[in-house]
Amino acid sequence: MDLGPHNDYYDSFIAYQKLLLKEFDRMSGEYGFEVVDASRTVKRVAGGLRKSISRIIEDEPGIEAVTAVKETAATETQDKLKAGAEPRSRNRVKAEAQEKSA
């Protein structure tokens, strides 16, 4: 009823659902959503979701990769400090970025 196109609750609900469906269809093309056939049994839907999610997770870098990146950054920072570079505060980094963009 908040949308205001109809005075009847049912008609407003149907209109709202149609708008949602249209938007999800648009987003599906833009973001590559995978459509799930929910008319299947719960076990089949859940199994299909598990397969799809597993594929996505397997494509993501694991915690080892994230840890390696953090360790590399920490080592580089320590090397710079040993070489005599002055540590920069977060505020100083922001100020330098603003100076460059000005």
Task: For 63-101, write each residue's pLDDT tens digit.
Answer: 566 566 666 766 766 666 677 766 555 566 566 666 766
Contact 10, 18 (CB under 8 A): no
This model's pTM is above 0.75: no
- For 93: left if phi > 0, alpha if psi spans -120 to 50, otherwise beta; the answer is alpha
Spatial CA neighbour of 16 closest among 33, 1, 30: 1
pLDDT (average), residues 23-33: 89
Pairwise CA distance, residues 45 & 39, whole Å: 8
Is a pLDDT exceeding 90 seen at residue 22? yes
- Average pLDDT, whole number, for the chain? 77
Pairwise CA distance, residues 69 & 22, whole Å: 41
**Structure confidence at residue 10 (pLDDT):** 85
Report the chain's C-alpha Rg in angstroms: 26
Share of the chain above pLDDT 90, in %: 21
